[in-house]
Chains A and B, each alone.
Chain A
């Protein structure tokens, strides 16, 4: 009997795995809205990448902007990068969170590939990422002029995502902000 029970072990392990996968499906990262939607950006005080100053949540106020979480170890960020630069060239303000990264590597990346960011928050330990609930890089948050998180996109921002999702929201928020 004991021998037979042993043979059920793979089945039990697989069942556990299947439950995890099922939970994973309902947690679909690109579907899940952030808990921070319509709430202000969490408070932080972190160094700026490549500059001798400290950044806080006040620094991103004043305009509708994108907050992009990236890292040099993130493969998808490479894919995303050229498009962010196009957006920056169009005048869209983009702030960066350099997430769990090495400052020197990040600086090299920006020197080499170009810098679409107004500034970069160096989140070396991932503490801000933790507060934001970052799933993995890249992630992009849409902030309004008061620093409230309006939308969260997990994964690469490309032409398609920008045109269909982010841009309409961005336009809406900019006109709202300037009207009254």
Chain B
């Protein structure tokens, strides 16, 4: 009975979404206030019914209702309850329901928190979101019904959740990622509403900014968790593979980063209007494209869901309508005349332009690399695969170009600045950055030029920010006033840029300094790696809730002092028979130690073992968390809560905010 209620609720939700897409839009067109005023309540209704549907599906999973096909093929009675719950979105059908739920959450959030918007704008925004919901709900109901039953003849037990997905990180990774993906639909809807209304002014940029920040922050966290999961769960210590599915989440992130910065210029200075709208369309389109790539089966990947050409066709048509439609609207309605606002070459505007160019090139690079095999294939030129070498070769120089500019950005002024002022402001940070770059890598032998470069660039970034903060606090009479100038928007930018610097150091140091040893070890043997002695103490058998495992016990010492006890496992899952490597990781701020079991060698109890020493690997994820915290902080800025602010912002506020 419960699955039928869920199915029915999903159908009602589709009806509500249809009404939301049509009636308020009609009201906005005709000037009918009653029709427009329906939008917020419809948005709440949508959330309620998708919520009911999602709850019903969760109950089916938690109660082991194996008559539901989805539960039978992705869950098992032995599965711990928390994984039964996360199994809801560990598959194509359920993850679509989660997607719809999150979309309705965002829609309801816009209805509630943006109630001070002009009714005309609000009803258009909600109508666009309703239309997107129609697309996803009909996708779910027409091609991937999560509530389909196998009656009669329900299996006695389910075939289990893929062991790769039985992991705490994977419980929250998809929801966070979807919060980000779907969150860009808000910026997208604001852009479409602005195009429909023909008013692309600073106010729509100000309305979109907090939403874009939140979506971007969630996406950052989602990507970070994905990378962290790959690191400890896949069992060979990698953290980024340029896999099509990873790229699918990375492209909206890159476009979103460009969007955040371009929105700043649009809000503060009324610049780059058409461009910003286009970026808002891009960011969400790339989210949809990601969905297409993951679920249609055009590209093969470890992450890919069970693929089905019919589903691919549906998403492609949906993609064509949404992206094609919005780009047509853009072509017809975007202001064709270039803005009358001018700026000097030496100004914050041109630095933001640099940011946008770099991120756009990055997006196109990743997009091209991801689709290249497909393009070549479609042209009948055979099959190729693009690997990490291509992506790294393009990405590393791009980021190296970005950071010098990024260090200037926060210090620079809008409209027009002077190189002499930059020189004056940043001379000390520049000298200190060179000093840091030269000396800090000495702490870790052997000296590495790439790490030195990363430290140089990152400290340039951090020291420039520090100088700017100091300047702001000092330049005002009285520290209290100076602190008043540190608005949440500015502090958020500080934290996010600091996070970026942290990630850069983490990525470069890990790539350059990591040591890996693959070797055969028997119980009792020890091995020294980067000054740590790993002693293989014993091999035991362990039984978990739904698996059996061989467990190796390691004791790690350094200079005779005990550092950690580590227990990597080789698990065999009972229901599916799949074998998984569970790595043991001793985490630290400055280094991770990592032990994974390979295969037994011979009959003497010896195993192939993989020992890793990974310095600063945590910094990469810490940086991503800082970026997200920064984006959340910026949202707290008071000007997003004021109903009517001056179009170009007061001079007090206008000085910062990138």
> Which A residues have a C-beta under 8 Å from some C-beta of B?
3-4, 6-8, 10-11, 14-15, 17-25, 27-31, 73, 75-76, 78-79, 82, 85, 108, 111-114, 130, 133-137, 154-156, 158-159
Kindly specify which of B63-71, B381-389, B635-643 makes contact with the partner chain: B381-389
Kindly specify which of B198-206, B309-317, B403-411, B469-477 makes contact with the partner chain: B309-317
What per-residue 1/0 map shows which CB atoms of B357-390 lie under 8 Å from chain A?
0000000000000010111011000110101100
Report the separation of the CA atoms of residues A73 and B387 in the bound assembly, to the nearest whole angstrom.
Answer: 8
Main secondary structure of the interface of A (DSSP, over half): helix
Report the separation of the CA atoms of residues A56 and B589 in the bound assembly, to the nearest whole angstrom.
Answer: 52
> Please, could you name 22 A-B residue pairs with CB atoms under 8 Å apart, sorted by A?
A7-B334, A10-B327, A10-B330, A11-B324, A11-B330, A18-B320, A19-B378, A20-B374, A25-B309, A25-B313, A25-B316, A27-B374, A27-B378, A29-B297, A29-B298, A29-B300, A76-B301, A112-B518, A135-B385, A159-B576, A159-B577, A159-B578
Are B610 and A137 within 8 A (Cβ)?
A: no
Q: A11-B328, A29-B297, A112-B518 are in contact. List 5 more A-B contacts (CB 8 A).
A: A28-B296, A28-B307, A76-B301, A135-B300, A136-B373
Shortest CB–CB separation between residue B377 and chain A, in angstroms?
Answer: 5
- Whether a CB of chain A sits under 8 angstroms from the CB of B608 is yes
Shortest CB–CB separation between residue A34 and chain B, in angstroms?
Answer: 11
A7-B274, A7-B330 known; A155-B300 Cβ under 8 A: yes
In the complex, residue of chain B having the shortest beta-carbon distance to the beta carbon of A2: B336
Residues on A with beta carbons closer than 8 Å to the beta carbon of B243: 75
Are B373 and A23 within 8 A (Cβ)?
A: no
A25-B316, A112-B598, A159-B576 known; A3-B298 Cβ under 8 A: no
Report the separation of the CA atoms of residues A118 and B305 in the bound assembly, to the nearest whole angstrom.
Answer: 32
Are A133 and B302 within 8 A (Cβ)?
A: no
Residues on B with beta carbons closer than 8 Å to the beta carbon of A4: 331, 336
Report the separation of the CA atoms of residues A108 and B519 in the bound assembly, to the nearest whole angstrom.
Answer: 10
Report the separation of the CA atoms of residues A79 and B610 in the bound assembly, to the nearest whole angstrom.
Answer: 16
In the complex, residue of chain B having the shortest beta-carbon distance to the beta carbon of A100: B385
Question: Interface residues of B toward A: which range?
Answer: 35 or more
Are B328 and A31 within 8 A (Cβ)?
A: no
- Whether a CB of chain A sits under 8 angstroms from the CB of B29 is no
A20-B374, A112-B608 known; A28-B309 Cβ under 8 A: yes
Are B236 and A21 within 8 A (Cβ)?
A: no
- Whether a CB of chain A sits under 8 angstroms from the CB of B234 is yes
- Whether a CB of chain A sits under 8 angstroms from the CB of B447 is no
Q: Which of B300, B331, B377 contacts A27 (CB 8 A)?
A: B377
Are A21 and B316 within 8 A (Cβ)?
A: yes
- Whether a CB of chain A sits under 8 angstroms from the CB of B426 is no
Shortest CB–CB separation between residue A1 and chain B, in angstroms?
Answer: 9
Are A76 and B300 within 8 A (Cβ)?
A: yes
Are A23 and B324 within 8 A (Cβ)?
A: no
Report the separation of the CA atoms of residues A136 and B598 in the bound assembly, to the nearest whole angstrom.
Answer: 25
Are A20 and B387 within 8 A (Cβ)?
A: no
- Whether a CB of chain A sits under 8 angstroms from the CB of B319 is yes
Report the separation of the CA atoms of residues A158 and B163 in the bound assembly, to the nearest whole angstrom.
Answer: 13
Are A3 and B336 within 8 A (Cβ)?
A: yes
In the complex, residue of chain A having the shortest beta-carbon distance to the beta carbon of B312: A25
Report the separation of the CA atoms of residues A19 and B301 in the bound assembly, to the nearest whole angstrom.
Answer: 22
- Whether a CB of chain A sits under 8 angstroms from the CB of B46 is no
Report the separation of the CA atoms of residues A155 and B300 in the bound assembly, to the nearest whole angstrom.
Answer: 7
Report the separation of the CA atoms of residues A91 and B362 in the bound assembly, to the nearest whole angstrom.
Answer: 48
User: Which residues, 438 to 491 on B, are CB-close (under 8 Å) to A?
Assistant: none
Are B388 and A113 within 8 A (Cβ)?
A: no
- Whether a CB of chain A sits under 8 angstroms from the CB of B599 is yes
User: Which residues, 499 to 543 on B, are CB-close (under 8 Å) to A?
Assistant: 518
Residues on B with beta carbons closer than 8 Å to the beta carbon of A3: 336-338
In the complex, residue of chain A having the shortest beta-carbon distance to the beta carbon of B285: A14
Are B331 and A78 within 8 A (Cβ)?
A: no
Q: Which of B298, B316, B328, B331 contacts A18 (CB 8 A)?
A: B316
Are B327 and A136 within 8 A (Cβ)?
A: no
Report the separation of the CA atoms of residues A155 and B303 in the bound assembly, to the nearest whole angstrom.
Answer: 12
In the complex, residue of chain A having the shortest beta-carbon distance to the beta carbon of B319: A18
Report the separation of the CA atoms of residues A158 and B164 in the bound assembly, to the nearest whole angstrom.
Answer: 14
Best-buried of B296, B331, B371, B375 by chain A (most CB within 10 Å): B331
Are B297 and A28 within 8 A (Cβ)?
A: yes
In the complex, residue of chain B having the shortest beta-carbon distance to the beta carbon of A109: B518
Are B383 and A134 within 8 A (Cβ)?
A: yes
Are A28 and B383 within 8 A (Cβ)?
A: no
Residues on A with beta carbons closer than 8 Å to the beta carbon of B312: 25, 28
A112-B598, A112-B599, A159-B576 known; A21-B298 Cβ under 8 A: yes
Closest CB pairs A-B (n = 6) = A23-B378, A3-B336, A24-B298, A11-B327, A8-B331, A114-B599
Residues on B with beta carbons closer than 8 Å to the beta carbon of A23: 374, 377-378
Report the separation of the CA atoms of residues A77 and B328 in the bound assembly, to the nearest whole angstrom.
Answer: 42
In the complex, residue of chain A having the shortest beta-carbon distance to the beta carbon of B238: A75
Are B518 and A21 within 8 A (Cβ)?
A: no
In the complex, residue of chain A having the shortest beta-carbon distance to the beta carbon of B324: A14
Residues on A with beta carbons closer than 8 Å to the beta carbon of B164: 79
- Whether a CB of chain A sits under 8 angstroms from the CB of B436 is no
Report the separation of the CA atoms of residues A7 and B316 in the bound assembly, to the nearest whole angstrom.
Answer: 23
User: Which residues, 594 to 629 on B, are CB-close (under 8 Å) to A?
Assistant: 598-599, 608, 610
